């Protein structure tokens, strides 16, 4: 994070007109993250059809032996790790301290905090100096001290002429240890963050870059959580101070310096500065579950474009995967460079695109994303999608050839020296391995790893990872101009990127604006629902109901199917038995008590959950329809809204003091309910969609339910049978 340079935004203007031969951002980089000692023998060049080239090949000298200078590694008693890399070419010294703790450690309702934290850490000044005073002091010396908040870490860095080191290093340490996070700068940062949110749908490339990550990792994944107006509003100075206090301890830090200094003297200096700093608590990584995205077709309409942005996505791999080298070679042949299949076939041969690329992405501590990317005019959207699928299929039907393999390996190995052609690159690599707990000699292994890759290896990883039906497809574009409807590729799920001004709960929960009075339309609509469900008489005769179903629950470990038996005895008793792999889970709720038994242990629910559970009984579909004419139940219609393909009318309900919202379709079926509740994970906006309406015992009831909490599917329930007024076993609602 450099100083806020106006050139950054000037670049926006200039880039509009910067015509480069190809947009390299689109290509998957086969560049290893590692640097290593080059082998003396270069990989044989592969194209030798041309005599001039053959002759040059023959007399080509060997690349001289080159051992890049390694940084010195020091670990202080308090756990702080320091790397020092001397570089005397220019009279500068620069350094960065990386501190564990970032966006993934920020609660969902404060998403965006790490960005504000990084900004205000510096602009908010220190105990002794305001940020503005620091700006004046540093700029007069052409020096920088900056802070930044990242995904899993935050950083403080400096950069100065070596003669100013003493002055600037003092500021660096002061910013690191004693930030004040002044409120005025937090206010400014929050205003800027809000403006940035309001502008996030400006550029199609930015939209697809963001949304494809949400599809690939899941929108609630802490690695991709998105700031919203209300999450920014919720952030306070105390939050920033607390985050600093929680994370800034020497044992969570990695400091790297590069520049015109003497390493010995610098080590002494740093030991003196940081040696006495006491250890603090660590910052453990949250456990995050990753699973492949649903292979759906997603679409985002953007009216002011004549070019579609298209991406296919599924999960990639971690860098410590044994297949890492094989996929690097596959990537290079498939989407790596000028001669790779995607560039040659989709761009050069078909003329469909300017930017095209793809490959299996890798990350250090989590799977990367495997993406295929293309931009094409609206009128060839379908053609370009077909071309991507065709290239995926061709990896199976026309496997990578020996020649392609040799070229890919030559590309990677012969350019290998560029991974360590500067001292700061070597430093960066070492620091990255240190930070993620990878062996520091990973560098030395990269070359051998690539050399060993065979055709069989490449075909094996193709078979293992490259599968057409695993990919989700996302298109951002103007659908009216498309050559083929996207429905050719599957059921299209539109993504609404309208920027919400309020949390999802607020917009649809009647709790915020309780219904105090029924309106005439509301009374008419509930009567329609009663009729559609089977009529008041049949509904009124229901005293109890037993439902047998399969519940597919989304858990951090993945999807689990739980056979479920639920009995409700109106008005206020319910018992749910689920067969989990590790045994039965029984949940009981009555007016008197609420408890859960599993694995022979019975636990009373916390008060808040018990209360919610009781409210849940009151929100029961049958219960509400039974009270269509009860003066304690109030019904008020809202606007109309689409749920799936159905046009629905909103019906806000006050069910004897409990709020909820229904979405009623033209036939009088309740196709969706929504309400705010408290779940195991805290406040939840729960939305349930109902479908598969079937006649049973004269009633019409939904046999399928999809439950979403805060927008994420938490369970899918498929009903197998419904029994009205079943026999209820004795003691069903008592602790066993």
Partner 1 sequence: MKSLRAVVVAAFFLLITVAVQAQDVASFEKRTTVRKLSNGLTVILMQRAEAPVFSFYTLVDAGSAQDPKGGSGLAHMFEHMAFKGTPNIGTMDWVKEKALLDKVEKAYLAYDYEKRKILGRDEKKIADLDAAWRKVAAEADKLVKLNEFGQLVEEHGGVGLNATTFNDSTVYYYSMPANELEMWAYLESERMLHPVYREFYKERDVVLEERRLRVDSSPIGRLVEQSLAAAFVAHPYHVSGVGWHSEISSVTATDAHEFFKTYYTPSNITLAVVGDLQVEPTMRTIQQYFGKLPAGSKAAELRTVEPAQNAERKATLREPGGQPWYLEMYHRPGYTDPDDAVYDVIGDLMSNGRTSRLYRTLVRDKKSALFAGGFSGFPGSKYPNLFVFYAVPNRNKTLDDLAGDFKGEIERLKSQDISDDELKMIKTRIRADLLRGLADNEGLATQLATAQARYGDWRELFRQVERVDKVTKEDIRRVANKTFVANNRTVGVIDNTKVEEKKAEAGKEGN
Among positions 545-604, residues that touch partner 1 (CB under 8 A) are none
Pick between residue 398 and residue 418 the one whose CB is nearest to partner 1: 418
| Pairing relationship of beta strands 81-86 and 253-259 according to DSSP bridges | parallel
**Tokens encoding 146:** 């900056």
**Phi, psi dihedral angles at 82 (to 5 degrees):** -125, 135
DSSP string, 50-97: SHHHHHHHHHPPPPPP--PPPPEEEE-TTS-EEEEEE--SSSEEEEEE
Q: Name the residue with tokens 């503005």.
A: 132
Binding segment for partner 1 among 8-16, 243-251, 390-398, 454-462 (CB under 8 A)? 8-16
Pick between residue 385 and residue 605 the one whose CB is nearest to partner 1: 385
In the region spanning residues 618 to 677, those forming contacts with partner 1, defined by CB under 8 A, are none
**Would you count residue 420 as binding partner 1 (CB under 8 A)?**
yes
CA nearest to 567, candidates 539, 536, 588: 588
**Tokens encoding 129:** 């100096």
**Would you count residue 691 as binding partner 1 (CB under 8 A)?**
no
Q: Are 529 and 668 in contact (CB under 8 A)?
A: yes
**Farthest-apart Cα atoms in the chain, separation:** 97
H/E stretch holding 406 reads: helix 402-414
Q: Select from 11, 40, 268, 608 the one that contacts partner 1 (CB under 8 A).
A: 11
CA distance linking residue 216 with residue 290, whole number of Å: 9
Pick between residue 184 and residue 292 the one whose CB is nearest to partner 1: 184
Binding segment for partner 1 among 135-143, 286-294, 539-547, 673-681 (CB under 8 A)? 135-143
Taking the alpha carbons of 234, 238, 244, 247 in that order, is the dihedral positive or negative? negative
Q: Select from 25, 41, 47, 502 the one that contacts partner 1 (CB under 8 A).
A: 47
String marking each residue 14-33 x if it binds partner 1 according to CB under 8 A: xxxxxxxxxxx---------
Q: Name the residue with tokens 């460079």.
A: 337
**Would you count residue 307 as binding partner 1 (CB under 8 A)?**
yes
Pick between residue 154 and residue 380 the one whose CB is nearest to partner 1: 380
In angstroms, the Cα distances linking 426 to 36, 37, 39, 70, 423 are 9, 11, 17, 7, 5
Q: Select from 1, 39, 42, 445 the one that contacts partner 1 (CB under 8 A).
A: 42
Q: Name the residue with tokens 């002061």.
A: 174
**Would you count residue 78 as binding partner 1 (CB under 8 A)?**
no
Pick between residue 23 and residue 527 the one whose CB is nearest to partner 1: 23
String marking each residue 377-406 x if it binds partner 1 according to CB under 8 A: x-----------------------------
Q: Using alpha carbons only, what angle is made at residue 602 by residues 601 and 605, rounded to the nearest 5 degrees?
A: 135
In angstroms, the Cα distances linking 447 to 320, 416, 444 are 15, 8, 7
**Would you count residue 133 as binding partner 1 (CB under 8 A)?**
no
CA distance linking residue 289 with residue 217, whole number of Å: 9
Q: Are 676 and 685 in contact (CB under 8 A)?
A: yes
User: Binding residues for partner 1, how many (CB under 8 A)?
Assistant: 98
**Would you count residue 136 as binding partner 1 (CB under 8 A)?**
yes
**Tokens encoding 103:** 């966006």
CB of 58 to partner 1, least distance (A): 11
The residues with which 299 forms a beta bridge, in sequence order, are 475, 494
**Tokens encoding 487:** 């429905």
In the region spanning residues 266 to 305, those forming contacts with partner 1, defined by CB under 8 A, are 303-305
CB of 166 to partner 1, least distance (A): 17
CA distance linking residue 318 with residue 128, whole number of Å: 44
CB of 375 to partner 1, least distance (A): 6
Q: Are 258 and 423 in contact (CB under 8 A)?
A: yes
Q: Select from 52, 265, 480, 695 the one that contacts partner 1 (CB under 8 A).
A: 52
**Would you count residue 195 as binding partner 1 (CB under 8 A)?**
yes
Q: Select from 83, 92, 158, 623 the one that contacts partner 1 (CB under 8 A).
A: 92
Q: Select from 107, 262, 418, 463 the one that contacts partner 1 (CB under 8 A).
A: 418
Residues in the chain: 736
**Would you count residue 264 as binding partner 1 (CB under 8 A)?**
no
Binding segment for partner 1 among 13-21, 312-320, 570-578, 702-710 (CB under 8 A)? 13-21
In the region spanning residues 110 to 129, those forming contacts with partner 1, defined by CB under 8 A, are 123
Pick between residue 314 and residue 419 the one whose CB is nearest to partner 1: 419
The residues with which 549 forms a beta bridge, in sequence order, are 564, 719
**Would you count residue 62 as binding partner 1 (CB under 8 A)?**
yes
Give how far the C-alpha of residue 453 lies from the chain's centroid of Cα atoms, to the nearest Å: 32
In the region spanning residues 320 to 359, those forming contacts with partner 1, defined by CB under 8 A, are 337-339, 343-345, 347-349, 351-355
Pick between residue 141 and residue 271 the one whose CB is nearest to partner 1: 141
Binding segment for partner 1 among 72-80, 198-206, 480-488, 698-706 (CB under 8 A)? 198-206
What are the b/e assignments for 616-627, b being 16+ CB within 10 Å?
A: bbbbbbbbbbbb
CA distance linking residue 576 with residue 562, whole number of Å: 11
**Would you count residue 13 as binding partner 1 (CB under 8 A)?**
yes
CB of 183 to partner 1, least distance (A): 14
Pick between residue 13 and residue 695 the one whose CB is nearest to partner 1: 13
CB of 190 to partner 1, least distance (A): 11
CA nearest to 93, candidates 143, 154, 137: 143
**Would you count residue 376 as binding partner 1 (CB under 8 A)?**
yes
Pick between residue 108 and residue 499 the one whose CB is nearest to partner 1: 499
Peptide bond into 571 cis (omega under 30): yes
Pick between residue 199 and residue 735 the one whose CB is nearest to partner 1: 199
**Would you count residue 520 as binding partner 1 (CB under 8 A)?**
no
**Would you count residue 61 as binding partner 1 (CB under 8 A)?**
yes
CB of 259 to partner 1, least distance (A): 10
């Amino acid at each position: 994070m450099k100083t806020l340079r106006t050139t950054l935004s000037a670049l926006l203007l200039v880039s509009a007109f910067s015509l480069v031969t190809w947009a390299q951002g689109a290509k998957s980089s086969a560049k290893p993250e590692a640097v290593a000692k080059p082998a003396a023998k270069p990989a044989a060049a592969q194209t030798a059809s041309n005599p001039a080239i053959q002759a040059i090949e023959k007399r080509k000298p060997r690349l001289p032996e080159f051992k890049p200078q390694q940084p010195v590694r020091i670990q202080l008693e308090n756990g702080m790790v320091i790397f020092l890399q001397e570089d005397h070419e220019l009279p500068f010294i620069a350094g960065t301290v990386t501190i564990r703790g970032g966006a993934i450690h920020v609660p969902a309702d404060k998403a965006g905090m790490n960005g504000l934290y990084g900004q205000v850490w510096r602009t908010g000044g220190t105990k002794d100096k305001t940020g503005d005073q620091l700006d004046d002091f540093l700029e007069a010396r052409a020096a920088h001290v900056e802070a930044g908040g990242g995904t899993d870490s935050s950083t403080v860095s400096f950069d100065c002429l070596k003669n100013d080191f003493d002055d600037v290093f003092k500021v660096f340490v002061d910013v690191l240890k004693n930030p004040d996070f002044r409120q005025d700068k937090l206010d400014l940062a929050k205003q800027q963050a809000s403006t940035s949110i309001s502008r996030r749908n400006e550029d199609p490339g930015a939209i697809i870059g963001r949304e494809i990550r949400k599809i690939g990792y899941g929108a609630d994944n802490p690695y991709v959580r998105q700031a919203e107006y209300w999450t920014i509003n919720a952030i306070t100075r105390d939050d920033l101070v607390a985050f600093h206090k929680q994370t800034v301890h020497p044992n969570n830090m990695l400091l790297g310096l590069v520049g015109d200094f003497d390493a010995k003297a610098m080590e002494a200096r740093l030991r003196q500065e940081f040696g006495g700093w006491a250890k603090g608590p660590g910052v453990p990584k949250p456990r995050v579950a990753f699973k492949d995205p649903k292979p759906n077709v997603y679409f985002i309409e953007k009216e002011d474009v004549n070019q579609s942005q298209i991406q296919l996505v599924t999960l990639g791999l971690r860098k410590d995967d044994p297949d890492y080298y094989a996929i690097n070679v596959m990537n290079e042949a498939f989407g790596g460079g000028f001669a790779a299949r995607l560039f040659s076939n989709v761009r050069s041969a078909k003329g469909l695109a300017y930017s095209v690329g793809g490959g299996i992405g890798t990350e250090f501590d989590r799977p990367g994303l495997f993406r295929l990317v293309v931009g094409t005019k609206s009128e060839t959207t379908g053609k370009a999608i077909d071309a991507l699928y065709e290239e995926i299929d061709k990896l199976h039907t026309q496997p990578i050839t020996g020649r392609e393999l040799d070229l890919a390996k030559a590309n990677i190995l012969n350019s290998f020296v560029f991974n360590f052609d500067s001292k700061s690159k070597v430093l960066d690599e070492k620091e990255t391995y240190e930070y993620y707990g990878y062996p520091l000699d990973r560098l030395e292994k990269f070359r051998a790893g690539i050399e060993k890759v065979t055709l069989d290896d490449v075909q094996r990883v193709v078979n293992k990872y490259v599968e057409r039906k695993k990919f989700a497809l996302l298109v951002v574009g103007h659908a009216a101009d498309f050559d083929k409807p996207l429905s050719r590729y599957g059921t299209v799920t539109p993504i609404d990127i309208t920027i919400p001004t309020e949390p999802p709960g607020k917009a649809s929960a009647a709790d915020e604006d309780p219904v105090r009075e029924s309106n005439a339309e509301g009374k008419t609509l509930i009567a329609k629902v009663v009729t559609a469900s089977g009529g008041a008489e049949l509904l009124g005769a229901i005293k109890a109901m037993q439902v047998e179903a399969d519940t597919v629950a989304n858990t951090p470990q993945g999807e689990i199917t739980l056979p479920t038996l639920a009995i409700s005895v109106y008005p206020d008793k319910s018992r749910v038995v689920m067969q989990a792999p590790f045994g039965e889970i029984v949940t009981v709720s009555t007016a008197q008590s609420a408890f859960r038994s599993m694995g022979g242990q019975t636990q009373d629910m916390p008060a808040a959950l018990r209360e919610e559970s009781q409210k849940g009984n009151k929100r029961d579909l049958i219960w509400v329809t039974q009270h269509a004419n009860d003066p304690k139940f109030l019904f008020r219609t809202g606007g109309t809204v689409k749920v799936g393909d159905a046009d629905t009318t909103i019906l806000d309900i006050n069910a004897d003091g409990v709020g909820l919202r229904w979405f009623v379709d033209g036939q009088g079926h309740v196709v969706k309910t929504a309400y705010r509740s408290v779940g195991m994970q805290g406040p939840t906006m729960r939305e349930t969609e109902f479908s598969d309406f079937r006649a049973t015992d004269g009633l019409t009831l939904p046999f399928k339910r999809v439950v979403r909490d805060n927008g994420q599917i938490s369970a899918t329930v498929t009903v197998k049978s419904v029994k009205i007024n079943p026999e209820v076993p004795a003691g069903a609602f008592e602790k066993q």
